């Protein structure tokens, strides 16, 4: 009889475990490149490292889209009803950016613990700096080609 000792919270890397990066890179990609890159990267990273919170991370990443839409339409409604003026609306629109950055930070905090265990137990960790730098320089052109200049899609993915 062969028994193996396993820590329940220890990440169980999948077949793509060799592509795991420090969660700070998807966070910075969310900040500098947009959620179109950062959030899928968080989800991929969580599943690649076998994060114990990967399902929660996936659900939170998926909630960003309806949450952003809700805020966008709420601001539009407030402008139409005269609560916000057209000059104050861009300032209120910062709330959409804050929402997306806050969700990126929540995902970072969720993934950090599993990443620390992954790294501690000898898991492979890649450097995500190249993808991050590429997203900074090429992100806006990729985003505009993905959205075709549609304002709603730019708000969602930016």
Residue pair 25/136 in contact by the 8 Å Cβ criterion: no
DSSP code of residue 10: S
Q: How much of the chain, in percent, has pLDDT values that exceed 90?
A: 49
pTM of the model: 0.84
Cα–Cα distance for residue pair 33/11, rounded to 1 Å:
28
Q: Is the pLDDT of residue 44 over 90?
A: yes
Cα–Cα distance for residue pair 139/90, rounded to 1 Å:
22
Domain boundaries, the chain: 17-157
Per-residue tokens: 77: 């409604």
Q: Is the pLDDT of residue 128 over 60?
A: yes
């Amino acid at each position: 009889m062969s028994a193996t000792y396993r820590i329940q919270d220890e990440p169980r890397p999948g077949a793509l475990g060799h592509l795991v990066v420090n969660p700070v890179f998807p966070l910075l990609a969310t900040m500098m490149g947009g959620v179109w890159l950062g959030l899928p990267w968080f989800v991929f990273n969580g599943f690649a490292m076998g994060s114990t919170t990967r399902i929660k991370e996936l659900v939170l990443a998926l909630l960003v889209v309806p949450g952003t839409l809700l805020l966008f339409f709420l601001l539009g409604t407030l402008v139409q009803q005269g609560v916000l003026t057209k000059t104050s609306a861009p300032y209120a629109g910062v709330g959409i950016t804050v929402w997306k950055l806050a969700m990126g930070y929540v995902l970072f905090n969720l993934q950090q613990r599993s990443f620390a265990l992954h790294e501690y137990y000898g898991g492979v960790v890649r450097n995500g700096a190249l993808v991050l730098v590429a997203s900074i320089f090429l992100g806006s052109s990729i985003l505009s080609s993905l959205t075709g200049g549609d304002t709603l899609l730019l708000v969602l993915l930016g």
